[in-house]
Amino acid sequence: MTTARLSEMKSNGEKITVLTAYDWATAKLLDESGVDVLLVGDSLGMVVLGLENTLPVTMDDMIHHCKAVARGSQRALLVGDMPFMSYQVSPEQAVTNAGRFLQEAGMHAVKVEGGREMLPAVRRMTQSGIPVLGHVGLTPQHVHQLGGYKVQGRTEVAAQRIREDAIALEEAGVFGLVLECVPESLARTISQQLAVPTIGIGAGPDCDGQILVFHDVVGLYDRFTPKFVKKYAQAGALMREAVQQYVREVKSGDFPAPEHTFK
């Protein structure tokens, strides 16, 4: 999978599938299941590291997990999420840190949050040969500025700003754009206006693709469940049941049985 192939998929009306991955085993499973794009999201701070939000996640955290994902994937496009304050200081800082994702971690592209304020960094990265996935709407790294995890673009003024940001990011060279938690009609309009693919999360069915957090999809994260999430399995409950059975059998002496013992 390449950025050019994603563009072809949009032109052909073929939906793009994206999921997050944070380790070798999950990446291998998702890759073999046919997921088009794997995002090593800074959401790992919450669903893997147990943090309250994504802000404390560091470059070293991201590089570590990206390396594991790269080892587990053979066909998907791999995108590394640039963490908070790894690209906001200057375009030079953005290029340096984005380059680490490609050079050290085996990623094919990076993702950055923000609109027109990110244009200098996005231009510098794309001019340096680093593919960039944009992200507008609800941007979790701005959670304190936004006043929480709220739907964005509900007023005409707010919607117009998001539309303008999307167009500006496309002109700056992004190969695609994540639209998070925006009204369905706004996501439809932006998807029709842009030549690059849009990837929705809480943005309705008219985006060119969809992304969800893997731990939400399979029921491994239970702190909260956003409205836009569909749980396709309750893996957390199954895993808990398996571990509880293991504990019971060890306590009772039923495990290990003769078939698990060397003679």
Tell me the angle at which helices 24-32 and 59-72 cross, rounded to the nearest 10 degrees: 50
Say which of 117, 164, 171, 180 is annotated catalytic: 180
Q: Is 180 a catalytic residue?
A: yes
CB atoms near residue 251 (< 10 Å)? 9
| Residues 4, 173: Cα–Cα separation, whole Å | 13
Residue 189, exposed/middle/buried by CB under 10 A (0-12, 13-18, 19+)? middle
Q: For tokens 């029709």, what's the residue?
A: 192
Smallest CA-to-CA distance from 139 within 154, 125, 150, 130 is with 150
Catalytic residues: 180
